[in-house]
Amino acid sequence: MRVDAFKLPTDGPADVRGLTALLDDGVVRADELVCVLGKTEGNGGRNDFTRDLAMRALEDLLAPRLGLPPARVQDRVVFSLSGGTEGVVSPHVVAFARSGTWSEEPGPKRLVVGTAHTRPFTPAEIGRMPQIVETARAVAELAGELRLAPADVHLVQMKGAIPRADHEAVLAARRARTPLRNDMVHSRAASALGVALALGEVALADLSDDVVCDDWSLYSGVASCSAKPGLQRTEILMFGNSDRATGDLVVGHTVLKDILDVDAVRALLAELGLPVTGGQLSPEQRAHVVGVFAKSEADPRGSIRGRRHTMLSDDDIDDTRHSRAALAAVLASVVGDPCVYVSTRAEHHGPLGGGPLAIIARAP
C-alpha cells in the first residue's frame, strides 16, 4: 500500500480547482481518494455553512468520476472539513489517495490510512462506557487491518455519533438520575477515551462513566475527535506508519502541553527528520511538510503559564476562535507555512489546555 497526499490551497470554500487538476492530469484517480481534510473560512460553529458548501463542491466534482449520485460520495471518500481560519491560517485541503498493495517484505515505515466505523449507538450509550468500549474495539480492529501496532498509530480522526433522543427518553434518563450525555462534549470525550483505550494510553481499569469529563489525567495523544448531532455511528479515519507500506510519506505525533509548547512541535519535526536549527524550518525542510493537524483548547482553568487568559469570558468572540488563532500561529511560525489544520475542543485529548499534534511529511 502506498499513500500520496496533496496540500491544496483554496480560494474559497467551493474552490476545488486543485483537486480537479490532480484528477484531470491523472495524478490522482478518483477511486483511490480516501479522504480530504481541510480548513474552510467559516466560524467553525453551529452556523458555519462553509463546510457544507465545500462538501457540496467536492461531491459535485467526484460524483461523476465515481459514478455515484452526489449524495453517495461520502460513503466512499471521507471529508473532514473544519471551519475557522483565524489569524494567519490559510484555507486549504489535504487530499489523500491510496494505491497498490501491501509489501511482502518489511521496509522503512511509511504512511498508511484507513477508515472504519463503529456499530450504531443508542443515546444512552454516548459519553459512557459503551461508547468508549465500542470505539476502542473499532479502532483496534482498524489498526489490525492496517497492520499497525499501537505505537505506529499517530492520528485517529473521528466524527463521533450523537444519536438523537426523544423527549421521553430524556425525561426518563433524568428521572433515573443518569441524564443523557448525547451532546458534543461527551461524545468527543468518549471517542478520545476509546482511542486511548485501544492504543494502551489508558487502562480499562481506570475507565468508568464517572471519569468522562472529570478525570482529565486520562487522555489520548493521538485522537482528534469531532461529533455530529444525528450521526448514529462514529466514523473513524486512521493514519499510521507500516513497514509493509511504500511511498515517501510518514506521520508522527506528539502531545502539546499547552498552546505555547513550541518545543514539542520542534521535537516532533526532528523525529520526522526535520530538525529546526533556528526558529523555523528552512524552505527546503518546509517543502517536506504535507499536513499539520492539531487540537487547540482554551485552558478551562482560565490561565496559561500561570497567567490569566480571557478566551473563556469573551462574549464577542468564541473561545474556539481565540485558541485556534493562537495555536495555529505558533505552529505556522515553526513550520513557516500558514496552511495548518487546527480544530478545537480537546476533552481527553492531551492534558487540560493542551492537545495532540500530528504531522505528515515526506521521509527525509
Task: Candidates 263, 275, 301, 364: give the one binding its own copies (CB under 8 A).
Answer: 263
Ligand-binding annotation for 324, yes or no, is: yes
| Helix axis angle, 319-335 to 262-271, nearest 10° | 50
Q: Euclidean distance between the first and final Cα of the chain, in Å?
A: 19
Residue 350 touches which of Ca ion, its own copies, none (CB < 5 to 8 A by kind)?
Answer: Ca ion
Measured from the CB atom, the residue of 38 and 247 that comes closer to its own copies is 38
Three cell numbers written together for 354:
493542551
Three cell numbers written together for 142:
482498524
Site for its own copies contains 291 (CB under 8 A)? no
Ligand-binding annotation for 191, yes or no, is: no
Query: Residue 334 in contact with residue 265, Cβ under 8 Å?
Result: yes
Of 114, 154, 335, nearest in space to 253 by CA: 154
Catalytic site includes residue 7: no
Measured from the CB atom, the residue of 247 and 355 that comes closer to Ca ion is 355
**Span from 110-118, 131-139, 193-201, 305-313 in contact with its own copies (CB under 8 A):** 305-313
Of 178, 131, 130, nearest in space to 158 by CA: 131
**Span from 33-41, 155-163, 173-181, 295-303 in contact with Ca ion (CB under 5 A):** 295-303
Least distance in angstroms from the C-beta of 84 to its own copies: 10
**Span from 109-117, 181-189, 233-241, 311-319 in contact with its own copies (CB under 8 A):** 311-319
Query: Residue 156 in contact with residue 223, Cβ under 8 Å?
Result: yes
From the number of C-beta atoms within 10 Å of its C-beta (0-12, 13-18, 19+), residue 25 rates as exposed
Site for its own copies contains 123 (CB under 8 A)? no
CA dist 233 and 75 (Å) reads 13
Of 284, 145, 36, nearest in space to 28 by CA: 36
Annotated active-site residue in 39, 80, 159, 296: 159
With vertex at residue 252, the alpha carbon angle to CA 157 and CA 44, rounded to the nearest 5 degrees, is 35
CA dist 253 and 264 (Å) reads 10
Residue 167 touches which of Ca ion, its own copies, none (CB < 5 to 8 A by kind)?
Answer: none
Of 330, 356, 354, nearest in space to 258 by CA: 354
Catalytic site includes residue 226: yes
Q: What is the DSSP letter of 246?
A: B
Ligand-binding annotation for 65, yes or no, is: no
Three cell numbers written together for 294:
492539531
Task: Candidates 86, 125, 235, 347: give the one binding its own copies (CB under 8 A).
Answer: 86
Residue 152 touches which of its own copies, Ca ion, none (CB < 5 to 8 A by kind)?
Answer: none
Task: Candidates 253, 322, 348, 349: give the one binding its own copies (CB under 8 A).
Answer: 322
Ligand-binding annotation for 277, yes or no, is: no
Three cell numbers written together for 233:
455511528
Tell me the β-bridge partners of 251. Answer: 360
Task: Candidates 236, 327, 358, 359: give the one binding its own copies (CB under 8 A).
Answer: 327
Ligand-binding annotation for 76, yes or no, is: no
Site for its own copies contains 166 (CB under 8 A)? no
CA dist 71 and 63 (Å) reads 8
Of 119, 201, 115, nearest in space to 158 by CA: 115
Measured from the CB atom, the residue of 104 and 168 that comes closer to its own copies is 168
Residue 346 touches which of its own copies, Ca ion, none (CB < 5 to 8 A by kind)?
Answer: Ca ion
Measured from the CB atom, the residue of 59 and 297 that comes closer to Ca ion is 297
- Binding residues for Ca ion (CB under 5 A): 297, 346, 349-350, 355
- Positions marked catalytic: 159, 226
- Binding residues for its own copies (CB under 8 A): 9, 11-14, 41-50, 52-53, 56-57, 60, 70, 85-92, 177, 259-260, 262-263, 265-266, 276, 278-280, 303-305, 307-311, 313-318, 321-323, 325-330, 332-334, 336-339
